[in-house]
Amino acid sequence: MEDQMTGRPAPKLTLEALPTLPVDVLRPGYDRADMQAGILHIGLGNFHRAHQAWYLHRLMQQGQALDWGIVGAGVRPGDAVQREKLQRQDYLTTLIELAPETTTVEITGSMLDFIEVQDHNAALIDRMAQPDIRIVALTVTEGGYYVDPATKDFDATHPDITHDIANPTQPRTAFGAMIAALGRRRADGTGPFTCMCCDNLQGNGAILRKTVVSLARLTDPDLAAWIDAQCTFPNSMVDCIVPATGPTELALVQALGVDDAAPVTHENFRQWVIEDDFCAGRPDWDRVGATFTTDVHDFEAMKIRVLNGGHQIIANAGELLSIDTIAGCMENDTIRQLFDRVTSHEILPHLTPVPGMSPAGYFDLIKTRFSNPRIVDTTRRVAFDGTARHPGFIIPSIRDGIAAGTSVRGLALVEAAWARMCAGTREDGGVIAANDPFWDDVQATALAARSDPAHWLAQRQYYGDLSDNVAFAQAFASWLNLIWSDGFENAVAAYLSA
């Protein structure tokens, strides 16, 4: 495809081609030959490349942290496809920042390699066992930590986990591979590495510790004790809206003068708040905008409840009303007013201000970010994996409201909208394709809940004892019945008029 500015074919992205790119494309100013590995990151999706890898790239642009280069890794079949794409372009990534009125294009080069993806993860274990790897980071989605969403206990019965227990030297999961590598490092005297979760989970470091140590105890209790004592698991809050890459993004990067098979678009906002707890050193990410702190909790709570929770409020509604994007949802009066009322009255009162930002100020920022029409973030992407996201992002606010004795009627409406969406049809009759790892189960439950809403709240793996709360259960049932009988917009109108 041609570069629309010059009419010439856009050059394929490689190290050799960097000098031939359009002059307004920012590119690495450091020599990749001077870089050494220091971080292994599992889950090389768009978010990692737009966020953590970008912070490291910015440090390298200042001539710093060249011994902290990223080695990519993955444990899923799709990761092998990503590896092939990135390998062909020397592990470079084109980042396209889409502000409401400006576009910035930048090539990042902080990634050095991508380990071969194997069923038994031998290459991954070998690489993590090497002494130059001092941080192992993960972006594997909120539901990927084998933690029961209701009890918060480690799920030792999952087939992936039972496989790793039976085959500790040939694990299926990233966590099993980390344990195997740490076992080698302990035996060799190499020492521990920092285990850093970069997923949207409150207390994400503590969750990662629970998963790794719990799994290790089932195969080698002594190693588990060593990991628990010697490795660190910093909590962190990560924030940047990064849509999936599709035909629109591929055409855009070509038009901007770069032939990149895996470009990333993102908004003009980033935030990274990290607990300063690294057992084997770390890059100085704070020099390029990250925040190190001893307490991430309040930052996490504000972001997860307002941004991630807000995404669920909006996306489930958007699916029901056949609205394709988050920005499109913000243009819809019904959805925007629901988002505003629920967040202002039932989420913000339970949050604590952080330095430089009140909960109300943060909500204003989120509304602006969600309304950016140039960020084509689909409702389908945002609504994906509700069985992990609602327990993590919405249900904690319900529990806070119940504990405080304040209204949760709007949040009950949000859960009713999710239940209605999981029935698999939009209000115009369109079909919602499977959009959750447990879609068959939740769809069957959603259809049963049409005649008896109690079926939905009976899913204690997500709601725990919330179904026992009479006021919440009655509000949920009332809203779900009204949505099915009169439609979602009439249900919202009733909520807004109360």
For the segment 224-264, what is each residue's pLDDT rounded down to a tens digit?
Answer: 999 999 999 999 999 999 999 999 999 999 999 999 999 99
Question: 420-450: buried (b, 16+ CB within 10 Å) or exposed (e) per residue?
Answer: bbbbbebeeeeebeebbbbbeebbebbeebb
Mean pLDDT of 451-476: 96
Q: Is residue 187 part of a domain?
A: yes
Asked if pLDDT for residue 138 goes beyond 80, the answer is yes
**Average per-residue pLDDT in the chain?**
95
pLDDT grade for 158, boundaries at 50, 70 and 90: very high
Query: Does an H or E element contain 291, and which?
Result: strand 291-293
Q: What are phi and psi of 107, to 5 degrees?
A: -95, 125
Asked if pLDDT for residue 326 goes beyond 50, the answer is yes
pLDDT tens, 265-324? Answer: 999 999 999 999 999 999 999 999 999 998 899 999 999 999 999 999 999 999 999 999
End-to-end CA, the chain = 55
pLDDT of residue 6: 52
Mean pLDDT of 137-144: 90
Asked if pLDDT for residue 3 goes beyond 80, the answer is no
Q: Is residue 6 part of a domain?
A: no
Query: Does an H or E element contain 295, and which?
Result: none
Q: Is residue 9 part of a domain?
A: no
What's the token pair of residue 172? 């299926």
Nearest 10 degrees: CA dihedral of 278, 284, 286, 290?
Answer: -60
Q: Is residue 462 part of a domain?
A: yes
Q: Which CATH number belongs to the domain containing residue 412 in this structure?
A: 1.10.1040.10
Q: Do both 242 and 377 map to the same domain?
A: no
Q: Do both 93 and 43 map to the same domain?
A: yes
pLDDT grade for 368, boundaries at 50, 70 and 90: very high
- For residue 426, the enclosing domain spans 297-497
Point out the domain boundary residue: 248, 264, 293.
293
pLDDT grade for 87, boundaries at 50, 70 and 90: very high
Point out the domain boundary residue: 293, 322, 342.
293
Q: Do both 345 and 209 map to the same domain?
A: no
Range with lowest mean pLDDT among 9-23, 123-137, 143-157, 457-471: 143-157
Domain count, the chain: 2
**Burial level of 271, CB count in 10 A (0-12/13-18/19+)?**
middle
Q: Do both 359 and 465 map to the same domain?
A: yes
Q: pTM for the whole thing?
A: 0.91
Q: Is residue 2 part of a domain?
A: no
Q: Do both 304 and 256 map to the same domain?
A: no
pLDDT of residue 7: 58
Q: Do both 342 and 229 map to the same domain?
A: no
Q: Do both 113 and 217 map to the same domain?
A: yes
Asked if pLDDT for residue 1 goes beyond 50, the answer is no
pLDDT grade for 78, boundaries at 50, 70 and 90: confident
- Residue written as tokens 């606010």? 397
pLDDT of residue 141: 84
pLDDT of residue 294: 87
Q: What are phi and psi of 356, to 5 degrees?
A: 85, 0
Q: How far apart are CA 434 and CA 443, in angstroms?
A: 9
Mean pLDDT of 184-190: 98
Q: Are 226 and 30 contacting, i.e. CB atoms less than 8 angstroms apart?
A: no
Q: Is residue 4 part of a domain?
A: no
Q: Is residue 384 part of a domain?
A: yes
> In terms of Cα–Cα distance, which of 149, 151, 169, 147 is closest to 214?
147
Q: How far apart are CA 279 and CA 193, in angstroms?
A: 6
Which residues are paired to 195 by β-bridges? 136
Point out the domain boundary residue: 293, 324, 348.
293
Asked if pLDDT for residue 427 goes beyond 80, the answer is yes
Q: Do both 100 and 164 map to the same domain?
A: yes
Q: Which CATH number belongs to the domain containing residue 79 in this structure?
A: 3.40.50.720
Q: Do both 334 and 210 map to the same domain?
A: no
Asked if pLDDT for residue 4 goes beyond 60, the answer is no
Q: Do both 209 and 150 map to the same domain?
A: yes
Q: Do both 101 and 64 map to the same domain?
A: yes
Give the ranges where 145-289 is alpha helix by DSSP (H).
159-166, 174-188, 204-217, 221-230, 247-255
What's the token pair of residue 492? 């919202």
Q: Is residue 7 part of a domain?
A: no
Mean pLDDT of 178-202: 96
Q: Do both 199 and 337 map to the same domain?
A: no
Asked if pLDDT for residue 476 goes beyond 50, the answer is yes
pLDDT of residue 319: 98
